[in-house]
Chain A
Amino acid sequence: MSSATSIVYVYGVLANCSDLVLDFPPGDLAGLVESGPLRILPFGDIGALVCDFILPDGSDLEAILEDSLSAERMILNHHLVLADMVSRYTILPLRFGAVFAEDAGVIAALDGRYSALKKALGRIDGAIEWGVKSFCNRKMLSECVTETVSEISVLESKIADQGEGKAFFLRRRVQRLIIDEVEKTIEQCLIGAQDQLKPCVLEETLVKIQPPTVHGHKHEMVSNRSYLIARGAEDAFMQSLDDLRMVYAPFGFDYQINGPWPAYSFSDQQLGGGVND
């Protein structure tokens, strides 16, 4: 005879959570898994935000995740719970999929990695993650460098006076110069943007560049970064982004911001040293 299995799903780790009030639902997983209320498993001055999932008879989480829509709902649930928490508390997000058989396993994990968890919580304390994608209109930038780089304009002016053969090679040279200048200018603009945002950010990290089929922007993504921003500095960060748009729009640059995120990108580590490693 099969029976339902209860597992403990862990969303993240909080500090100073003794007076924390969990007054929101764990998210809609109706029909997917039966879930209990969100609860905190304390260990000293830290605690794990967990939820009991009651898996259907004879099922397990892996099997549920093999269904794409179920996986998507589970991942969204993971994010929505963390996003709700991060609006009020500092929470160290765990990577999706942290499941324990019972509370004792969670407590053991907190115990075995207490120092590392405290350090990781300190790193993101009072801060939030924002993402910034940079896009470049290469055609516009090419026209820009063609007009502004003197070597290119000099060569272009010579082309008309040359015979067909020499003009061909001059055109090739101009094309190569434009490509080089465009790359150089993109690099300079990205460095300039980083320098401009730096005073407002605690940390920054690279996120993988997305292909056009994913980002959906009409121009090429040239940078994808995440920034850890102190809550009090968010307005200044947004203002700096607006300033960036003004400065670099003439070069064909556009910026998209996404977030706020739980500090996923700044909690990216495998914590070792535990009793179970």
Chain B
Amino acid sequence: MTNKTQGGQDLALADLLDRALSTGVVIWGEATISLAGVDLVYVGLKVLVASVDSAQRMKDASLVDRPTDGGQ
């Protein structure tokens, strides 16, 4: 993990999720299942949030509150 947080913290899962799941290029195409995949990933994340060790910390995370990006 390429974490260099100066406070010596581990890479925060929330920081990663905020980036890897809500930013980055999206390529749509007939051959992809990304359109469905992204929606399902967001649904899956709610499950993730409920069970990872940091569940309580993540409960209020932006990712949980973020509505499913139907158009993204």
Contacts and interface: CB of A to CB of B under 8 A. Distances in A.
Interface of A: 10, 12-13, 61-62, 65-69, 71-72, 75-76, 78-80, 83, 86-87, 92-102, 104-106, 108-109, 112-113, 117, 120, 129, 131, 207-208, 210-211, 213-216, 226, 256-262, 264-265, 267-272, 274-277
7 contacts: A95-B20, A96-B21, A214-B61, A216-B9, A258-B4, A259-B4, A270-B26
A258 B2 CA distance: 9
Given A100-B31, A267-B24, A210 B62 contact: yes
B52 A213 contact: no
Contacts of A264: 19-20, 23-24
Nearest to B57: A213
B47 A67 contact: yes
A191 B15 CA distance: 23
Given A61-B37, A95-B20, A276-B31, A258 B11 contact: yes
B29 A108 contact: yes
A276 B28 contact: yes
Contacts, number: 193
B52 to A, nearest CB: 6
Nearest to A83: B2
Given A210-B62, A262-B24, 5 more contacts: A69-B51, A97-B37, A256-B6, A257-B5, A270-B25
A117 B25 CA distance: 9
B7 A120 contact: no
Contact of A109 (B31, B45, B49): B31
Interface residues of B, number: 54
A102 B31 contact: yes
Contacts of A62: 36-37, 40, 44
A211 B3 CA distance: 21
A67 B46 CA distance: 10
Contacts of A210: 14, 61-62
For B23, B52, B72, the residue with the greatest tally of chain A CB atoms inside 10 Å of its CB is: B23
A112 B4 CA distance: 37
Contacts of B38: 95, 97
B12 A95 contact: no
B1 A83 contact: yes
A94 B27 contact: yes
Contacts of B52: 68-69, 72
Contacts of B44: 62, 65-68, 71
Nearest to B66: A208
